[in-house]
Amino acid sequence: MHASTESTERGLYTEPAYSLSREASEHPLILVCEHASRYIPPALNDLGLSREAAHAHIAWDIGALALAESLSKALGATLLAANYSRLLIDLNRPLQAPDSIPAKSEIYQVPGNQDLDEATREYRRQCLFEPFHTRLGELIDTRVAEGRRVRLVGIHSFTPIYFGQPRALETGVLYGQAEDYAKRLIDGLARHSLRVAGNQPYKINPAADMTVPVHGDARGIDSVLIEVRNDLLRNRLAVQTWSDYLAPLL
186-229 residue pLDDT tens? 999 999 999 999 999 999 999 999 999 999 999 999 999 999 99
116-133 residue pLDDT tens? 999 999 999 999 999 999
| Beta strands at 108-109 and 18-21: parallel, antiparallel or unpaired | unpaired
3-state helix, strand, coil in the chain (%, to 5): 35, 20, 45
Question: Is a pLDDT exceeding 60 seen at residue 2?
Answer: no
| Residues 164, 36: Cα–Cα separation, whole Å | 24
| Residues 56, 103: Cα–Cα separation, whole Å | 16
| Fold (CATH) for 18-113+132-249 | Aminopeptidase (3.40.630)
| Residues 4, 102: Cα–Cα separation, whole Å | 22
Mean confidence (pLDDT) of the chain: 96
Query: In the chain, what are the domain boundaries?
Result: 18-113+132-249
Query: Which of 5-11's residues contact partners 24+ apart within 8 Å by CB, and which partners?
Result: 5/117, 5/118, 5/119, 6/119, 7/117, 7/119, 7/120, 7/122, 7/123, 8/117, 8/120, 9/41, 9/44, 9/120, 9/123, 9/124, 10/123
pLDDT at residue 107, rounded to an integer: 87
- Mean pLDDT computed over 152-177: 96
Q: Backbone phi, then psi, for 132, in 5-degree steps? A: -65, -50
CB 226 within 8 A of CB 153: yes
Prediction pTM value: 0.95
